[in-house]
Structure 1
Amino acid sequence: MTMVTRTLRAAAIGAIVAAGIGAAGIGAAGIGATGVALAADYTLNVNTALQPQDPLFKGLNAFKENVEKGSGGKIAVRLFPGSQLGKDEDVLEQARAGAGVAVVVDGGRLAVYTKEFGVLGAPYLASGYDGVRKVVTSPMFETWVEKLRKAAGLQVLSFNWWQGERHLVTNVPVRVPADLAGIRMRTPGAPVWMETIRAMGATPTPMGWAEVYTAMQQKVIDALEAQSPAVYNSKHYEVAKYLTKSGHINLITGVVTSAAWFDGLPADLQALVRDEALKAGDIASRGTEASLADYEKQMQAKGMTVTEIDVTPFVEATKPVYEKLGYGELRVELNKFLGN
């Protein structure tokens, strides 16, 4: 997509949002689920690629309810699953332009504005939610938040929305990196994701999440990598035979909005929105933790083979990614911080 096309698309999305169109969004018309009228002083439209049945969406519902209630109806929050407002990059552009939109987004897509965010998507950075949460609630992380504000006009509300560890989803069994040779694997287009998949042995193929099922079905790609809830809820078990638990990326995401929109809120509402985003992120992440085993069982019941492997060869293969992308020193700093 060219820059002109992206700008026109983003402008179109902004016009739709500003006009209040988009009745498919949850709570998008009339009175919201918590009884808050859409004539609120401020409206925040939150976009996510995930579906409402994803455990992370429970956190978004909690965020909506608690912000609307805590603000006394001054803020209305509308949720748009399935990327109804467009791709993450397009919504980020709208946020940069000052629209009242937010998006659940990974650090890789923010790294184009503030490089440090990219390390959050680097391979084998931390162990589970508790490990990566320590990073994204640290004073170090807040310095990245401020850099992002200055560089791109984007405001992080919280970044503790853990979607699980990402695994390999293929039609051939995988044990070691050599098994991925020649396999075209879908991944987001951010450099840290692309380099990780390349280092693991596959050929990275960026495309939108909504396109993956059809691309697998039509053999445009051979494989993908994703967390278990997303694989199940998008029914990728219908087009792939194997889920190999490589856990190569600990997928932590955040709710990111417009700095201009955020700065237009009174100070008490700014604090409310950030506090509730952090609380809701914990709800979402703990729900994800509790759901993972059940998702694996359900995929196995659908005929998918779920395999545990020794990830050591993948850990070793992906170590050069940090230096290649200029994260070597930051990796050392984070290792010390995490006690690795």
Structure 2
Amino acid sequence: MSVKKRLFLLTVLSVMMLLAACGGSSEAEGSTDAKTSGESGTGKVYTLKINTALAQTDPIYQGLEAFKASVAEKTNDEVVIEIFGNGSLGDDSDVLEQAKVGANVAVIVDAGRLAEMVPEIGILSAPYIVDNYDEANKVTQSDLFKGWEEKLAVEHNLQVLSFNWYQGDRHLLTNKKIEKPADLKGLKLRTPGATVWTETISAMGASPAGMAFSEVYPGIQQGVIDGTEAQHPATFGANLHEVVKYITKTGHFQLVTGIVAGADWMAELPQEYQDIVYEEAQKNGELASQNTIDLLADFEQKMIDAGIEVHEVDIEPFKKATETVYEKLDGYQALRDQVNDILGKK
């Protein structure tokens, strides 16, 4: 075994031991971890720890809390969901690796990140691939997407619980006023590290910088990066409106995400409980997504009231600039055609 692989396995085992010992979460007092290895009521208690980069103010986070409550109620507290906000369990990729090897963890994650394992799924994170949540949801409920889910489970031991958690459309956050792609030249913008995201920011004219979302605020403040791109609830939750002057409404990504856990962990649940988890993940994803849509204007107004300038721009030049992403990434032209067929677009 190589030194690199040995170190990785030691890291994963260490994190798993830490999770087993950890009794708290960022969102609740009185952890139920003490019951994870014992008996409660009529049977064993199963605990799933969900990691998210989002803050408690985010409607998706609140949707996870509703998911937690409904699963607990319908399983007589024998399936326990614990929520870890602000990325407190670590980077999404690290949490996914832990889930692969059987840890009782899950993560709210985008398709771009999952494309590192199933390349086709990354099309959902491509620029301007869909115009709104309804279109994104139609794709994620399709047979095409179900095939990608199966591939993720069979080949990578990861199970999608539901992929209908809409976080909003993403815009540019800068201290320079942006009206057209050329205005981004020379700017370094944070974006998630997945290839489709970085290629999109490059195509728009900026230099992409990968870093954890929790590092964006100090990164802008200290001049490490010139800005970022994000959806309104996340921007507000991370107080990014305090360190940038402008939000430019490009809507270049419609951010639809899913809850992904380890396939082995899900298989350990009694079938009845598996069904409940899937059903409640789907139901609460829909509710959280609608709540997100309903609150987007409210988040925007709060940031305007705090002093940020929000600008509407002609998005056609940005659409044109990002066409190169479909040309550069292998298979994306054909994948876009498949998505358009599902949506009834020419």
Match of 2:108 among 82, 104, 108: 104
Matches of 2:278 and 2:54 in 1, distance apart?
A: 21
Map 1:173-252; keep pairs closer than 5 Å.
173-252=177-256
Structure 1 residue 15: Cα displacement: 1.1
Describe the SS at the equivalent of 2:235. Answer: helix
Contact 1:223 1:240 in 2 (8 A): yes
Matches of 1:283 and 1:71 in 2, distance apart?
A: 20
Match of 1:166 among 164, 167, 170: 170
Structure 1 residue 12: Cα displacement: 2.5
Question: Counterpart of 1:12?
Answer: 14
Matches of 1:30 and 1:48 in 2, distance apart?
A: 18
Residues 31 and 262 of structure 1, relative CA distance in 2, 3 Å threshold? closer
Residues 25 and 238 of structure 1, relative CA distance in 2, 3 Å threshold? closer
Map 1:1-340; keep pairs closer than 5 Å.
7-19=9-21, 21-27=22-28, 29-30=30-31, 40-326=44-330, 327-340=332-345
Q: Deviations over 1:28-68 (max 9, x none)?
A: 64459xxxx99552111111010111111121011101111
Residues 280 and 193 of structure 1, relative CA distance in 2, 3 Å threshold? same
Matches of 1:47 and 1:81 in 2, distance apart?
A: 6
Structure 1 residue 322: Cα displacement: 1.7
Q: CA RMSD in A?
A: 1.7
Give the total of aligned pairs: 334
Structure 2: where are the runs of 5+ without partners?
none
Describe the SS at the equivalent of 2:196. Answer: helix
Residues 75 and 127 of structure 1, relative CA distance in 2, 3 Å threshold? same
Letter in 2 for 1:276: E
Contact 2:23 2:32 in 1 (8 A): no
Residues 160 and 112 of structure 1, relative CA distance in 2, 3 Å threshold? same
Q: Deviations over 1:271-324 (max 9, x none)?
A: 111111001101111111011101111111111000111100000111121231
Structure 1: where are the runs of 5+ without partners?
none
TM-score, length basis structure 2:
0.93
Question: Mean Cα displacement is larger for which, 193-202 or 72-81?
Answer: 72-81
Describe the SS at the equivalent of 2:241. Answer: helix
Matches of 1:120 and 1:133 in 2, distance apart?
A: 10
Contact 1:13 1:86 in 2 (8 A): no
Matches of 1:83 and 1:6 in 2, distance apart?
A: 20
Letter in 1 for 2:136: V
Matches of 1:236 and 1:17 in 2, distance apart?
A: 30
Letter in 1 for 2:25: A
TM-score, length basis structure 1:
0.94
Describe the SS at the equivalent of 2:258. Answer: strand
